[in-house]
């Protein structure tokens, strides 16, 4: 995982495992701010290119951060993209961001809560680099 120590990589892996345990996401990724996929998992049959998905997610996060700064709303917490039958959540997690996707719209509220908690915990351990 990027320039992380083995212990840091293990800690992040545990966070991702906890997210998976508490949600029914179809895809979950940990991505650098530059769009580099550090970790990605998805259920079988979820056909997506993980590198393309990670890089597109980074563009969305950067656009969201630019909008938040322009409006002087402080720190971007998350971006949720929702279609008729699926959603993607992108959560600010310090040096990284979390990306999750699901076709279970009814689970959106729960997944947002789980992402907020774990994004905050990851941010504490891995704050944005100056």
Give me the pLDDT at residue 73, please.
93
Residue 2's pLDDT is: 55
Residue with tokens 């509220």: 109
Contact 115, 98 (CB under 8 A): yes
Whole-number Å distance between alpha carbons of 126 and 56:
22
| 8 A C-beta contact, residue 58 and residue 31 | yes
* Residue 1 predicted with pLDDT over 80: no
pLDDT band, very low/low/confident/very high, at 128 (cuts 50, 70, 90):
confident
Residue 102: predicted pLDDT: 93
Helix H or strand E encompassing 109? helix 108-125
Average pLDDT over residues 105-129: 93
CATH T-level assignment (fold) for domain 6-125: Beta-Lactamase (3.30.450)
CA–CA separation, 118 vs 66, rounded Å? 23
Q: Is the pLDDT of residue 23 over 70?
A: yes
Phi, psi of 81 (to 5 degrees): -110, 120
- 5 pLDDT higher than 90: no
Res. 29 pLDDT band, cuts 50 70 90:
very high
Domain boundary assignment for the chain: 6-125
Q: Structure tokens of 82? A: 């929702």
* Cβ count within 10 A of residue 19: 22
Average pLDDT on 101-113 reads 93
Q: Which residues contact 24 (CB under 8 A, 6 or more apart)?
A: 102, 104, 107
65-94 pLDDT, tens digit per residue, is 999 999 999 889 999 999 999 999 999 999
């Amino acid at each position: 995982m990027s320039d992380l120590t083995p212990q840091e990589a293990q800690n992040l892996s545990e966070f991702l495992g906890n997210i998976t345990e508490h949600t029914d996401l179809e895809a979950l990724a940990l991505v650098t701010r530059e769009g580099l996929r550090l970790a990605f998992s998805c259920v079988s049959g979820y056909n997506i290119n993980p590198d393309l998905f990670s890089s597109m997610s980074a563009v969305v996060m950067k656009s969201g951060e630019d909008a938040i700064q322009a409006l002087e709303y402080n720190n971007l917490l998350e971006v949720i993209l929702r279609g008729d039958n699926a959603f993607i959540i992108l959560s600010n997690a310090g040096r990284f961001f979390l990306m999750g996707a699901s076709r279970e719209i009814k689970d959106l509220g729960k997944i947002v809560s789980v992402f907020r908690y774990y994004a905050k915990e990851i941010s504490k351990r891995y704050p944005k680099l100056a």
